[in-house]
Structures are given as C-alpha cells and as structure tokens.
C-alpha cells in the first residue's frame, strides 16, 4: 500500500508541473505543441537519469525510484496528449508539422533518455 501511495503522490506532483508548463507554452506554438514536447523530453531525460541512478544500487531506494520514475515521470509526461496532438495535426492536414513533431519527439526523447543514463554515470 505504501508503494501505491508513493506512485500516487509522485504522479500528482508530476501532473501539476506538466500543467504549469504546458498551459502557457502550447498556445505559443499551435502547430508544434511546445509545452507537451518539452515536458515529454524533460521527462525522458529525468527517467533516464533516475533509472540510471537506481541501477547503480546504492543511490536511490526502491521507494524513491517508484515515487520519481513511475509516479513523477509518469504523471509529468503525457503520451495521450502527444497522440491527440498528432490526430489534431492530421485532421487539419498539417502533414509537415505532424511529421516534424512526431520524428523530433521520438528521436529527441530517445536521445534524452540516453543522455540521462549517461549523466547518471558521471562521478562513478
């Protein structure tokens, strides 16, 4: 039960922060959804870093990892908004914006996870 509460609390914090970042930034770039892009990329970087630290064994406890990776990063990032925004761009025949957003989100997201993992190994 304690672990479920940690995930719940982390998810709540992550969701509120996502809202605080996405709400003001998305209207600035209606064909790219900058807020959603940024929270997803930051979340990729964070989860790579958190899971990298967790894998080292003595840095983060299992409960800390659940709170931060599963809870916070799970609440902070948003695949559902990402998918809806792709639908919005397709529905409006924004094929170029759709392609740029899709490819950059996936590519930069994977690179951000790799960077987070690499950063977690500094100082070993």
Show me where the domains of the chain are located: 2-121
Say how far apart CA 72 and CA 5 lie, in whole Å: 12
Residue 48 annotated as part of some ligand binding site: no
pLDDT, average across residues 32-41:
95
Report whether 124 contacts 58 (CB < 8 A).
no
Q: Which two tokens stand for residue 108?
A: 């930069």
pLDDT, average across residues 11-24:
96
Residue 12 annotated as part of some ligand binding site: no
Q: In the predicted model, what is the mean pLDDT of the chain? A: 94
List, for residues 75-90, the tens digit of each pLDDT value. 999 998 999 999 999 9
54 CB neighbour count, 10 Å cutoff: 18
Say how far apart CA 35 and CA 25 lie, in whole Å: 5
Say how far apart CA 122 and CA 124 lie, in whole Å: 6
């Amino acid at each position: 039960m304690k672990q479920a509460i940690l995930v719940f609390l982390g998810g709540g914090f992550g969701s509120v922060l996502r809202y605080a970042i996405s709400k003001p930034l998305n209207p600035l770039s209606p064909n790219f959804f900058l807020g959603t892009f940024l929270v997803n990329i930051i979340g990729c970087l964070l989860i790579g870093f958190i899971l990298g630290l967790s894998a080292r064994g003595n840095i983060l406890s299992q409960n800390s990892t659940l709170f931060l990776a599963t809870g916070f990063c799970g609440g902070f990032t948003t695949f559902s908004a990402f998918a809806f925004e792709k639908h919005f761009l397709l529905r409006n025949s924004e094929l170029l914006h759709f392609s740029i957003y899709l490819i950059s989100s996936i590519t930069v997201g994977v690179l951000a996870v790799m960077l987070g993992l690499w950063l977690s190994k500094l100082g070993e």
